[in-house]
Amino acid sequence: MGTINNLGKFDADFFGFSVEQAHACDPMLRMLLEHSYEAVIDAGINPKQLRGKNTAVIVGLAYNESQVKLLYEDFQIGGINIIGCSRATIANMISYFLNLKGPSYTMDSACSSAIHAIALGYHCIMSGKCEDAIIGATSLCLHPIVNFQFSRLGIKNKLIIIY
């Protein structure tokens, strides 16, 4: 089992969030925002060049264990909980931050979500729906019960990436 260091750290100001809004957002959203921005830069593209561009954002994920806690237990300001922890809005938040105008989908097909996100991105580009795409996938097992359930099913990944 691996751990992700500094999961709670997030440059809220850089992404236009207040500290309260950042704490009301799912850790998967915060990580995907950071890594999407890094991926654009790593690709040699200035993120400002993407503004207004027909670029798709497609995110694959299978479950969101923090959604219940953020929606029903931790009430925050201005209803940001409903946006910041919903699986449906994760891709949309990336599109919004980068000001992208292409299709924006979050998809859940269980353990095949990532490959389906890649296939959908390819299809969007090849069909002319968009010029290019940012494709991501995420899965964070933060609660020990979730890890236990996956272990009992025998489907936990043997390769754990530690950030």
pLDDT tens digit string along 41-50?
Answer: 999 999 999 9
- Sorted by where each starts, the structural domains of the chain and their CATH numbers stand as 13-153 (3.40.47.10)
User: Per residue in 122-150, pLDDT tens?
Assistant: 999 999 999 999 999 988 777 777 777 77
Identify which has the larger pLDDT, 80 or 28: 28
Judge whether residue 82 has pLDDT over 50.
Answer: yes
DSSP-based three-state secondary structure for 117: helix
pLDDT band at 156 (very low <50, low <70, confident <90, very high): low
In this predicted structure, what is the pLDDT of residue 134? 98
**Measured in Å, how far apart are the chain's first and last C-alpha atoms?**
12
pLDDT at 5: 78
pTM: 0.83
In whole angstroms, give the CA distance from residue 95 to residue 36. 10
Give the residue with greater pLDDT, 47 vs 3: 47
Burial of residue 8 (CB within 10 Å: 0-12, 13-18, 19+) is: exposed
Taking only the tens place, the pLDDT of each residue in 118-129 is 999 999 999 999
